[in-house]
Amino acid sequence: MRQFIYLQTMRAMAKSTKSQGLVTTWQILLLLFRCNDVLSDFSYPDFNKTAGLVFNGAAAGTDCGETSEFVAIGGSEENAAPKIDEYGLTATTDLFSITETASNNSKTDNTEVYDAIFGHREDFEIDANTGCTTRLRLTPSHPSKAGSVWYESRVPIMRGFETTFSWQITNQSKVCTEHVDRSYATTQHRSCAVHGGDGFAFVIHGAREASFALGGDGSELGYGGIMNSLAIEFDTWTNVDTQGSDDIFQDHISIHSAGSMPNSSNQSTSLGYWRSYNIADGKVHKCLIQYLPHVETRYFELMTANENLIPYLKDNGEGRRLGTLAVFVDQGIPENRPLLAIPVNLSLLLNVTQSLAYVGFTASTGRKWEIHDILSWEWATMEIPRSELD
């Protein structure tokens, strides 16, 4: 993380040379000295070593993909699982049959040669540069799973922090419907939709379960039910049938907390408003989450807020001022342009002792499923605000 801040600042200084001349040696030395005030608490450039991490539920480490398994309703696959009416799938009739399996997220699976039904993803394509690096697999591509991975020790959060991670979502569930002529029992056409669920979240919490905390599956994204928590969720499934849901039919990123009460992924816990982003397109994405212990005026135009934030929009004494939580994704990181940001005072939002909290990831699947992978992760507690390095 220290190197990240150094490179970010060097880019900014390099841009300034066009109008202000060359970067001097003393400026570089000063920068290096000031970067020493940023403590890189832990770093996982990959997960060949997972010392310091605690796995719960369906979460595990893996080095490659998994074998796709069929979930068939009235199908003839030899390896088909038993009927799973509890997932709400329609049984076979003499007019059509439904088969559900895990897509390989490849454009070579010929899904697009058929009439795609509503909800089909047309933009998924596995990232060819991913390889088989060891990663955190928060959930496998199976129905109704939930997993969490936490750093085993609490880390300081109130003074400010930065965390970066990369993610990839693959093997989404694929539903194909074979439409059959009633009289002649011949296949007329096939409709397929590739769209998995439900998503993952980066979570900060002070719950009594400590590093064993795990929330619900499905729409809860693995963090629903965790008390005293803050979640930045990466939602890939629309739960419009869920009470209090404000989901949209787009992948989106949003921030949720119920303060010291059990958290959940619904409108009553949303801090600000969602931002749409293509989360589950099979590509590798990178995210930076930053908390500054002051209000960052440069992010004003990108900030969002709603009435749920009102209790947390004030100072809480010396050293516990109103701060800024910002989420940067992909190109927004080098451009220092957050996808979304909110003003919030974490010392009012979370009740944690000694300003220390657990940090990590959760994910879930439900009626639809997909693989949620974290490929790298770094965390740094900031002794000085990042804005002072610019």
Predicted confidence band of residue 350 (pLDDT cuts 50, 70, 90): very high
Mean pLDDT for the stretch of residues 31-38: 39
Answer for the pair 127, 375: CB distance below 8 angstroms, yes or no: no
Instruction: Identify whether the C-beta of residue 177 lies closer than 8 Å to the C-beta of residue 97.
Output: yes
The domain spans of the chain are: 1-36, 40-66+130-171+196-389, 71-126+177-192
Among 8-12, 47-51, 332-336, the range scoring the smallest mean pLDDT is 8-12
Query: What is the C-alpha to C-alpha distance for residues 168 and 47, in angstroms, rounded to an integer?
Result: 14
The 10s digit of each residue's pLDDT in 80-107 is 333 333 333 333 333 445 556 666 655 5
Q: Which two tokens stand for residue 153?
A: 């020790």
For the chain, give the mean pLDDT.
Answer: 77
Q: What average pLDDT score do residues 38-65 get?
A: 86
Going by their DSSP bridges, the two strands 252-257 and 229-235 should be labelled as: antiparallel
Residue with tokens 């399996």: 101
Residue 138 has pLDDT above 70, yes or no: yes
Taking the C-alpha atoms of residue 130 and residue 123, their distance in angstroms, rounded to an integer, is 17
Q: How far apart are CA 44 and CA 378, in angstroms?
A: 6
| pLDDT higher than 90, residue 294 | yes
Report which of 298, 105, 278, 96 is spatially closest to residue 199, judged by C-alpha positions: 278
Percent of the chain with pLDDT over 90: 55
Determine the pLDDT at residue 173.
86
Average pLDDT rounded to a whole number, residues 11-20: 42
Q: Which of 18-32, 105-119, 209-223, 228-242 tops mean pLDDT? A: 209-223
- Under 8 Å between Cβ of 224 and 264: yes
Q: Which of 80-84, 108-112, 242-246, 382-386 has the lowest mean pLDDT?
A: 80-84
The reported pLDDT for the residue numbered 62 is 84
The pLDDT assigned to 210 comes to 97
CATH of domain 40-66+130-171+196-389: 2.60.120.200
User: How are beta strands 161-170 and 71-73 bridged, if at all?
Assistant: unpaired
What confidence category does residue 238 fall into, taking pLDDT thresholds of 50, 70 and 90? Answer: confident
* 192-196 average pLDDT score: 79
How many beta carbons lie within 10 A of that of residue 332, not counting itself? Answer: 19
* Among 349, 353, 271, 348, residue whose Cα is nearest residue 315: 348
Cα 309 vs. chain centroid, distance in angstroms?
21
pLDDT band at 390 (very low <50, low <70, confident <90, very high): very low
At residue 240, the pLDDT reads: 54
Burial class (CB within 10 angstroms; exposed 0-12, middle 13-18, buried 19+) of 270:
buried
DSSP code, position 378: E
Q: What is the DSSP letter of 182?
A: T
Q: Which two tokens stand for residue 90?
A: 């329609």
Alpha carbons 313 and 322: distance in angstroms, whole number: 6
Closest to 161 in 3D by CA, of 202, 209, 200: 202
Which band of pLDDT confidence, cut at 50, 70 and 90, is reported for residue 387?
Answer: very low
CB 370 within 8 A of CB 197: yes
Residue 128's pLDDT is what?
A: 54
Under the banding of pLDDT at 50, 70 and 90, the label for residue 119 is low
pLDDT at 24: 44
* Residues 248-253, mean pLDDT to the nearest whole number: 78
Number of H helices and number of E strands within the chain? 3, 21
Residue 9 to residue 3: CA distance in whole angstroms: 10
Amino acid at 193: A
DSSP secondary-structure letter at 91? P
> pLDDT tier at 182 (50, 70, 90 boundaries)?
low
How many other C-beta atoms can be found within 10 angstroms of the C-beta atom of residue 369? 27
Q: What is the mean pLDDT of residues 331-344?
A: 97
Higher confidence at residue 194 or residue 288? Answer: 288
pLDDT at 28 over 70: no
Name the pLDDT band for 205 (thresholds 50, 70, 90). Answer: very high
Confidence of residue 115 (pLDDT cuts 50, 70, 90): low
Report the Cα–Cα distance between both ends of the chain, in Å, rounded. 16
Which segments of 86-208 are extended strands (E)?
96-102, 115-116, 135-139, 146-151, 155-156, 161-170, 173-180, 187-194, 199-205
* Chain center to CA of 127: 18
Model confidence at 11: pLDDT above 50:
no
